[in-house]
A and B are shown apart, each in its own frame.
Chain A
Amino acid sequence: MQILHTDIAIIGGGGAGLRAAIAAAQTDPNCKISLLSKVYPMRSHTVAAEGGAAAVTLQQDSLQAHFDDTVAGSDWLADQDVVDYFVSHAYQELVQLEHWGCPWSRRDDGSVQVRRFGGMKTERTWFAADKTGFHILHTLFQTSLQFANINRLDEFFVVDLLVVEQQIAGVLAMQLSSGELYQIQAKSVILATGGAGRVFHYNTNGGIVTGDGMALAYRHGVALRDMEFVQYHPTGLPGSGILITEASRGEGGILLNKDGYRYLQDYGLGPETPLGKPESKFMELGPRDKLSQAFWHEQQKGRTGNYGEHAVVYLDLRHLGSRYLNERLPFICELAKSYVNVDPAKAPIPIRPAVHYTMGGILTDGQGQTSIAGLYAIGECASVGLHGANRLGSNSLTELLVFGKVAGVAAVAHAKQRQALPSSALNAQCQQHHHQLQARFGTKQADNVASLRKAMTLAMEQGCGIYRTTEGMQQCLTTLLQLKQRYQQLAVSDHSKIFNYELLQHYELGFGLDVAEAMCASALARQESRGAHQRLDQGMQSRNDTDYLQHSIAQLMPETAGAASGSAKISYQPVRITKSPPAARLYGGAATKQEPV
Chain B
Amino acid sequence: MEKTVEKTVEKTLVIQRYNPEHDQTPSQQRYQVPFDNSTSVLDALLYIQQSLDPSLAFRWSCRMAICGSCSVMVNGIPKLGCKTFLRDYSGDLLLEPLAHFATEKDLVSDMTLFLQHLQAVKPYLIRQEQSAAITPATKPQPHKQTPKQLAKYRKFSSCINCGLCYAACPQFGLNPEFLGPAALTLAQRYNLDSRDQGKAERMPQLNGKNGVWGCTFVGFCSDVCPKHLDPAAAVNQGKVASATDFVIGLFKP
Chain A: minimal CB distance from B172 (Å): 19
Interface contact B195-A350, CB-CB below 8 Å: no
Interface contact B146-A109, CB-CB below 8 Å: yes
Verify if B50 is at the interface (C-beta below 8 Å from A). yes
Nearest-neighbor residue (CB-CB) of A209 within chain B: B61
Q: Which of A43, A95, A98, A334 contacts B67 (CB 8 A)?
A: A43
Enumerate chain B residues within 8 angstroms of A206, measured Cβ to Cβ. Answer: 61-63, 67
Interface contact B142-A98, CB-CB below 8 Å: yes
Interface contact B143-A131, CB-CB below 8 Å: no
The verdict on A501 contacting B62 (CB below 8 Å), with A43-B69, A96-B140, A134-B160 known, is: no
Q: Which of B50, B144, B150, B161 contacts A109 (CB 8 A)?
A: B144
The verdict on A308 contacting B68 (CB below 8 Å), with A95-B142, A106-B146 known, is: no
Verify if A267 is at the interface (C-beta below 8 Å from B). no
Interface contact A242-B63, CB-CB below 8 Å: yes
**Size of the chain B interface, CB-CB below 8 angstroms:** 66
Interface contact A146-B124, CB-CB below 8 Å: yes
> Which of B103-111, B209-217, B238-246 forms contacts with chain A?
B103-111
Verify if A64 is at the interface (C-beta below 8 Å from B). no
Q: Which of B62, B105, B122 contacts A499 (CB 8 A)?
A: B105
Chain B: minimal CB distance from A101 (Å): 4
Interface contact A98-B143, CB-CB below 8 Å: yes
Verify if A45 is at the interface (C-beta below 8 Å from B). yes
Nearest-neighbor residue (CB-CB) of A100 within chain B: B125
> Which of A158-166, A274-282, A490-498, A551-559 forms contacts with chain B?
A490-498
The verdict on A99 contacting B146 (CB below 8 Å), with A47-B67, A48-B64, A206-B63 known, is: no
Chain A: minimal CB distance from B19 (Å): 6
Enumerate chain A residues within 8 angstroms of B106, measured Cβ to Cβ. Answer: 499
Q: Which of A131, A142, A145, A309 contacts B5 (CB 8 A)?
A: A309
Give complex CA distance A111, B196 in Å.
17
Enumerate chain A residues within 8 angstroms of B61, measured Cβ to Cβ. Answer: 39, 43, 45, 206-208
Interface contact B54-A502, CB-CB below 8 Å: yes
Interface contact A501-B64, CB-CB below 8 Å: no
Interface contact B64-A242, CB-CB below 8 Å: yes
Verify if A243 is at the interface (C-beta below 8 Å from B). yes
Interface contact A501-B66, CB-CB below 8 Å: no
Verify if B136 is at the interface (C-beta below 8 Å from A). yes
Nearest-neighbor residue (CB-CB) of B195 within chain A: A101
Verify if A307 is at the interface (C-beta below 8 Å from B). yes
Q: How large is the interface on A (under 10, 10 to 19, 20 to 34, 35 or more residues)?
A: 35 or more
Q: Which of B64, B68, B108 contacts A42 (CB 8 A)?
A: B68
Nearest-neighbor residue (CB-CB) of A307 within chain B: B3
Verify if B20 is at the interface (C-beta below 8 Å from A). yes
The verdict on A103 contacting B124 (CB below 8 Å), with A48-B66, A89-B136, A111-B142 known, is: no
Interface contact B67-A99, CB-CB below 8 Å: no
The verdict on A112 contacting B54 (CB below 8 Å), with A307-B1, A350-B1, A498-B104 known, is: no
Verify if A92 is at the interface (C-beta below 8 Å from B). yes
Residues of chain B from 19 to 52 with CB closer than 8 A to chain A in the complex: 19-21, 37-38, 49-51
Give complex CA distance A500, B51 in Å.
16
Verify if B175 is at the interface (C-beta below 8 Å from A). no
Interface contact A498-B105, CB-CB below 8 Å: yes
Enumerate chain A residues within 8 angstroms of B161, measured Cβ to Cβ. Answer: 40, 42, 138
Chain B: minimal CB distance from A352 (Å): 13
Q: Mark B117-152, 1 if CB is under 8 A from A, else 0.
A: 011001111000001001110001111111101100
Q: Which of B37, B51, B67, B196 contacts A450 (CB 8 A)?
A: B51
Chain B: minimal CB distance from A501 (Å): 6
Chain B: minimal CB distance from A212 (Å): 13
The verdict on A48 contacting B62 (CB below 8 Å), with A307-B2, A350-B1, A496-B55 known, is: yes
Residue of A47, A129, A350 most packed against chain B (CB within 10 A): A47
Interface contact B67-A239, CB-CB below 8 Å: no
Interface contact B64-A243, CB-CB below 8 Å: yes
Nearest-neighbor residue (CB-CB) of A145 within chain B: B119
Give complex CA distance A111, B144 in Å.
5
Q: Which of B56, B59, B160, B193 contacts A39 (CB 8 A)?
A: B59
Give complex CA distance A145, B186 in Å.
13
Chain B: minimal CB distance from A536 (Å): 30
Q: A99-B140, A111-B142, A142-B124 are in contact. List 15 more A-B contacts (CB 8 A).
A: A40-B111, A47-B66, A48-B64, A48-B67, A98-B142, A103-B153, A109-B144, A129-B154, A134-B66, A146-B124, A307-B1, A340-B38, A450-B50, A498-B105, A500-B57
A interface with B by C-beta (< 8 Å): 39-40, 42-45, 47-48, 88-89, 92, 94-96, 98-101, 103-112, 129, 131, 134-135, 138, 142-143, 145-146, 154, 177, 206-208, 239-240, 242-243, 305-309, 314, 331, 334-335, 338-341, 347-348, 350, 448-450, 493-494, 496-502
Q: 14 A-B residue contacts at CB 8 Å?
A: A42-B160, A43-B68, A92-B140, A101-B193, A103-B153, A107-B147, A110-B145, A131-B66, A143-B124, A206-B63, A308-B5, A314-B1, A498-B21, A501-B49
